[in-house]
Structure 1
Amino acid sequence: MYRIIFAALVLAFAFVPARADAGVTFKLRDAVVTSGVVSKIRIDAVDAAGKPVAVSNLQVRVDMSPDAMADMTADAKISAVNGGLVVETNIYAPGRWAVIVSGTANGKPVKVSLTVTAKRKSAEAALPPPANPQPKSGQERKILYYRNPMGLADTSPVPKKDSMGMDYIPVYADEMAKTPGAIRLTTEKMQRAGVRTTVVTRMALDKTVRATGTVAADETRQAVLSARFTGFIEKLYVSQTGDVVRAGQPLMRVWVESADLLVKSADYIGSLQSGAQDHAASAAALLRQYGVSPSELTAMAKSGVPTRSLTIVAPASGTVMEKPAVQGMHFATGDTLFKTTDLSRVWILADVSERDLAAVKKGQKAFVSFRDSPSESFEGTVLLVYPELNAATRTTKVRIAVANKNGRLRIGQYADVRIAVPGAAASALTIPASAVVDDGTRQVAFVALPGGLFEPRKLTLGARNGDSVEVRAGLKEGEHVVTSGNFLIDAESNLQSALQSFRK
C-alpha cells in the first residue's frame, strides 16, 4: 500500500509542468522510462493559453540525479516533432535523471530542467547479457563466502564477526563479474561515491606546452662603447640611463691624453702635406678605429694640427642600460663608458619541463602573456632549445623572440608561455585526464556498463592537451568512462581481485 502511494506521489510530481522564460511552459508526457534501452521522452512546449510554441536552437543534456550527479550523463538528442519535442536517450542506469532542455522561443532564450525516473525492465535485463544472472523469483541468492568488513584479505565460508564485533559481509554469486577486477554498484552506492562519467570522444588534439619564463635582452642587439685611448671626459651629452639614442648620436666630448693617438694624428697630417695619399688613407683608417669621426679628420686636414678634443658617438641605436661615464672622469684604454640595448625585440627565456622537451622545436609559434595584462597575448618564435638541463628543477631554457612594440615589455618581467605543437594527433580518441587512474606502473580507466557494472581497462596513452589525454589503446569511441569516484572504484576493484586470488 505504501509503495503504491509513494509511486503515485512520484508520478504526480513528475507531471508538474515546468515554467521557463519567454512565457513558455514545458510539460513532460513521459515521466517514467526504461533503463538500458533507447527511450523517447515527449515534451510539450505551450504558452499561457495552452497553444504550442515553436522552440529553435534546441539543445539537450541528460544528467543522473538532478540533485547529486550533475556530471554523470547519458547520450541524448532532441528534435521538434508534430508541434512538440522528442528527446531520444539511452539512460543506462535506474534512478532519477534530469532532462535539461534549452533553446530559443519568442526570440528569447529558454532553459528548463525536467525530472524523469528510469526503472529496470526486469532483474535479468538490468545486467549485461554475459554477466551472472540474478536468481529467479523465489530462489535464494547463492553466497560464495563472507569477506572482512574492514577490507582485509580475510574470508570465511560461514558467517562470523571480526575482533570488533562487526559482521562479515556476504559475497553473492550474482555480484561477481567474470572480468577480473570488474565490480557492480547499486545506484545508491554510485551516488554516495560521487560517481560521474563522460563519453569517450574523438577530436583533433593539438598539444600545447605551457611554461613560465622571464623577459631578457636580445644579445644580438647589445652594444658596448669602450675607451680606445686614455683621456678625460669634458662634457656628457647623454647623462642618464634609460635614455634612447640612435646610431651616430654624440654621447660625450673627451680630451685626448694618449700620446700614441697624438702621434698617429701627426702622421696622418704629415702624409697629407707630403702628398703620400696612400699612406694618408691608411693613417685615416687607423684613426677611425680609435673613434675619430670623418668630420674631425677633415678638420685636422684643414688646420694641420692634431686635435686633442674629440666627440664620441653611439655605435648603435638602443636604450642606455649602463653609463659608467661621468663628466670630468679620467678613463683608460679598455674602460667601459656606455652599454646600450635595442629593446624593439626581446627574448623570453621559458623554463620547459623535461617531459615536454621532445615536442618543442626551433621555429614553432609561441604565445606569451604577462601578469600586468593577462588578456593580451604576444606572438613569438622559438629560436633555440638550450642544450643544458637544470638538474634541480628538471627544466631546460627555451629562447623565444618577441617583438616589443612601444617598449611595453621590461627586462626581468615574468611571462606565461604557450608553445603550440601542431599535428600532435590529427584525430585522436580522448578522455579527460581525471578519468585515468595512474599508480606509477599502469594507467587504468573504468568503463561504465549497463546494470551498474564498472570494468577496468588498461590504457596506452599518447599526447596530452590541458585536461584531455589521447588514448591509443584500451577504449572505444562512445563508451562511458568514470571521471569522478574512480579512485574509490579502483580500491574496491583491487580488493575484489585480491579476495578472488586469496580464495584460489
Structure 2
Amino acid sequence: MSRSAWRAGTLAAVAAGGAGYWAGQDGVPVPALFEKARTELLHWAPHPAEKPTSPPAGATGPVVYYRDPDGKPTYASEPARTADGRAYRAVHAGEDVRFETNEPEIETPMQASSATAVAKRIRFYRNPMGLPDRSLTPKKDAMGMDYLPVYEGEDSDGGTVEISPGKLQRTGVRTEVAERRVLSMPVRAPGAIEEDERRVSVIAMRTDAFIEKVEGITTGDHVHKGQPLLRLFSPEMNAAAAQYLTGIGYEGARRRLENLGIPPEVIDEIERARKVPATITWSAPSDGVVVERNVSDGMRAKSGDTLFRLVDHSRVWAVADVSERDLAAVAEGQTATVRSRTFPARPFTGTVARIYPHLTIGTRTARLRIELLNPNGDLRPGMFADVEIATGAEKPVVAVPDDAVIDTGTRQVVLLDKGEGRFEPRSVRLGTRGDGYVEVRDGIAAGDRVVTSANFLIDAESNLKAALQGLSEPKPTQGIQAAAEGKAP
C-alpha cells in the first residue's frame, strides 16, 4: 500500500472513530485531534516517488491560500517563495491537498468514508481558547496551540452552546424536566378580627319610657333570642295598645304598635288577652353577647336612647390589608386561611367575601374581608391575624423552577438541554408563580429539560458566542474572503 493510501486510511480511522466523543486525559475534543493528525499527515514529507499534483485540469476555483511546496506548516495569503526560490503551492477553494504516486491506489470502504469527511470544506479556523479571532488559513495562537477548523454545516446554530462533560461536572450544571402542575401562589397580609356588621342588634327606644326593671344581665353575658332583658312603662305605648283593642282588626292600630318597636310577641299577647299591660317586657331580638348596656332600674329613657347592644360572634370577619402590588392576584371567592396570634397552630378557613373599592392612601393597601365560622367564640374582635390567600391557576400548567429562568430585564430566557452537552437559550413568556415554580405560557413544552443550576454561566457563554459571531467576522483581506466564499477575487 502506498504512503498516500496509508495517510488516507489513517485520516478515515481518526474521523470515523472519534466523531461525537471526547478523548485524552486533558479533555481535548476529537475534532482538534483529527485536525492535528490531518495536518501532521499532510505535512509529512512526500516520498521521492511522489510529487505534489498540479491543480485539477479545468479547475476554476479561486485560490484560498498558498502553502509550502514541501508540506511544511508554512502558509501565505499571497504568492510567496521558499528560501531556495521555489514557489509556494496554490490551494484552491474546496480543494483538498493530495499527492499522486506511480503506485496503484486501491480505495477501501474506510477510505471512501474518509474521502467524504475530508471533502468537507473548511469555512474558517477559530481560536482554540474561544477568543474573538478567526483565520481563513491554519495558524497557531501565542501559546503554540493550533486553531480549530470549522467546517461547512457546523456552527450553524449561533445560539447553541456545547460544553464538555468535564466542564459540566465542574460547574455543577443541574437540569429538570418541565412538567404540568397546579401552581399556588399565596398572598400573605396582616389583618385583624372584626365583628360581622350584619349580626349586631341594638335595642333603642322610639318613644319616652320609664325603666321598671332590668334583668341581671351585664356586659359580656351571652343571651338567647327571646330572653327577657327589661320591663318598662310608656304612656304612648299604652295609648296605642288601647286603641288597638277598641278597633280589633284595624290594621293601622297594629302598625302603630310595630312602629313604636314593641316586640311582636307582646302585640300577640295584647290581642290574645285583650288587655293593656301595665308594663311591657322587652326581650333579646337574637342570640349574641352583650357588648353594651346603658340602662338601669328606674331610669327614664328618651326616644333614641340605646339601651343594649348585642353582637352574634358565631360568624366573624377577618379584615386584611393587601398591598397594591398583590391586589391583581386576589379575587372574591378565593379560599383564605387565617391564623390568629392567640392560636397560631389553629388555622381558620374562609372565603374572600369582599374587596373594598378604595385604597388606603398612606399605606397603599386595599382592605378585604374574609368570612369565618366561629361557633365556639374562639376568635374575638380585635385579635391580630395573619391571612394567607390561595391564588394561582386552578388547572395544571407547564411550569419550570424559578431558578431556571434568567430575567434580563427586557426578556426572560431558559436554557434548553438538547443532550450531549449542547444547550440552547430559549425566550419564554411567563405566567403565574407559586410553590417555587413559574408558569411558562410560550417557548417550551412539557417534557423539555431545562437547566436549573449554573445557567448564568452557560448563558454568559452563549451571549459571548453570539457577540463574537456578530462582531468578529473575518474581514476581507486581499481577496481571501471572496475566495473563501467561492467567488472570484
**TM-score above 0.5, yes or no:** yes
Q: Which moved more, 1:187-196 or 1:438-447?
A: 187-196
Are the structure 2 counterparts of residues 375 and 145 from structure 1 closer, same or farther at C-alpha, using a change threshold of 3 Å? same
3-state SS, counterpart of residue 409 of structure 1? coil
1:125 lines up with 2:21 in the alignment: yes
Q: Secondary structure at the match of 2:456?
A: helix
**1:482 Cα deviation after fit:** 1.8
- Matched to 1:439, the amino acid is T
In the alignment, the residues of structure 2 paired with residue 487 and residue 357 of structure 1 have an alpha-carbon distance, to the nearest angstrom, of: 32
What residue ranges of structure 2 are gaps of 5+ in the alignment? 1-16, 24-28, 40-123, 136-141, 474-489
Q: What's the counterpart of residue 49 of structure 1?
A: none
Q: Does 1:484 align with 2:453?
A: yes
- Which of 230, 235, 239 aligns to 1:262? It is 235
- Give the drift of 1:475: 2.1
SS of the aligned residue for 1:265 comes to helix
Counterpart position of 2:204: 226
Q: Looking at CA atoms only, which structure, 1 or 2, has the larger radius of gyration?
A: 2
Q: Distance in 1 between matches of 2:229 and 2:146?
A: 91
Q: Deviations over 1:287-337 (max 9, x none)?
A: 343344555896899897774x54332222122233344666654322333
Aligned to 1:195: 173
In structure 2, the CA distance between the partners of 1:306 and 1:497, relative to structure 1 (3 Å rule), is: same
Indicate which of 408, 416, 431 corresponds to 2:387.
416
Residue of structure 2 aligned with 1:290, choices 260, 263, 266: 260
Change (3 A) 1:389 1:459: farther
Aligned-pair CA distance for 1:198: 1.4
Shift, 1:266, TM fit: 3.2
Superposed counterparts of 1:297-316, under 5 Å: 307=278, 309-316=279-286
User: For the Cα contact (< 8 Å) 2:183–2:435, is it kept in 1?
Assistant: no
Instruction: Say whether 1:205 aligns with 2:177.
Output: no
Partner of 1:441: 410
Is the Cα contact below 8 Å between 1:296 and 1:310 reproduced in 2?
Answer: no
1:457 CA displacement: 0.8
Q: Secondary structure at the match of 1:286?
A: helix
For the residues of structure 2 that align with 1:450 and 1:302, how far apart are their CA atoms?
95
Q: What is the alpha-carbon distance in structure 2 between the residues aligned to residue 205 and residue 171 of structure 1?
A: 53
Deviation by residue 1:25-83 (Cα, 9 ceiling, x = unmatched): xxxxxxxxxxxxxxxxxxxxxxxxxxxxxxxxxxxxxxxxxxxxxxxxxxxxxxxxxxx
Task: State the distance in 1 between where 2:447 and 2:204 align.
Answer: 70
1:191-237 residue CA offsets vs partner (Å, 9 max, x unmatched) = 56443321222x34254553434433222222222232335555543
Give the TM-score normalised by structure 2: 0.57
Q: CA deviation at 1:267?
A: 5.3
Q: How does 1:12-411 map to 2 (within 5 A)?
A: 124-125=20-21, 134-137=31-34, 139=36, 142-144=125-127, 178-186=156-164, 189-190=167-168, 193-201=171-179, 203-205=180-182, 207=184, 209-212=186-189, 213-231=191-209, 233=211, 235-237=213-215, 239-254=217-232, 256=233, 261-266=234-239, 268-269=241-242, 272=245, 275-278=246-249, 282-293=252-263, 294-295=265-266, 307=278, 309-325=279-295, 331-351=301-321, 362-370=332-340, 373=343, 376-389=346-359, 396-411=366-381
More strand by share: 1
User: Is the Cα–Cα contact under 8 Å of residues 207 and 465 in structure 1 kept in the other structure?
Assistant: yes
Distance in 2 between the 1:473 and 1:316 partners?
57
Aligned to 2:118: none
Q: CA deviation at 1:385?
A: 4.1
Deviation at 1:414, TM superposition (A): 0.9
In structure 1, C-alpha distance between the alignment counterparts of 2:303 and 2:380, rounded to whole Å: 32
State which drifts further: 455-464 or 183-192. 183-192
Q: Letter of the aligned partner of 1:245 in structure 2? A: V
Name the % identity: 37
Change (3 A) 1:440 1:220: farther
Deviation of the 1:458 alpha carbon? 0.4
Q: Secondary structure at the match of 2:286?
A: coil
Aligned counterparts of 2:149 and 2:323: Cα–Cα separation in 1: 49
CA distance, structure 2, for counterparts of residue 185 and residue 306 of structure 1: 99
Name the amino acid aligned to 2:411. R
CA–CA distance in 2 between the matches of 1:147 and 1:136? Answer: 17
Once superposed, what is the RMSD of the aligned Cα atoms?
A: 4.6
CA offsets 1:90-118 (integer angstroms, 9 cap, x no match): xxxxxxxxxxxxxxxxxxxxxxxxxxxxx
Shift of 1:173: 5.7
Q: Which SS does the other structure have where 1:416 is aligned?
A: strand
Change (3 A) 1:305 1:478: closer
**Which one has the bigger helix percentage?**
2
Distance across 1 between alignment mates of 2:295 and 2:228: 14
Partner of 1:136, secondary structure, is helix
Q: Which moved more, 1:191-200 or 1:215-224?
A: 191-200
The residue type paired with residue 470 of structure 1 is E
Q: How many angstroms apart in 2 are the aligned matches of 1:497 and 1:209?
A: 39
Tell me the matched-pair count: 353
- Secondary structure at the residue paired with 1:407? coil
The residue type equivalent to 1:134 in the other structure is: P
CA 1:177–1:251 in 2, change beyond 3 Å: closer, same or farther?
Answer: farther
| Residues 290 and 215 (structure 1), Cα distance of their counterparts in 2 relative to 1, 3 Å cut | same
Please tell me the residue identity of whatever aligns with 1:262: P
Structure 1 pair 344/126, CA: closer, same or farther in 2 (3 Å)? farther
Structure 1's unaligned 5+ residue stretches are 1-120, 149-154, 159-166
Distance 2:429 2:209 in 1: 72
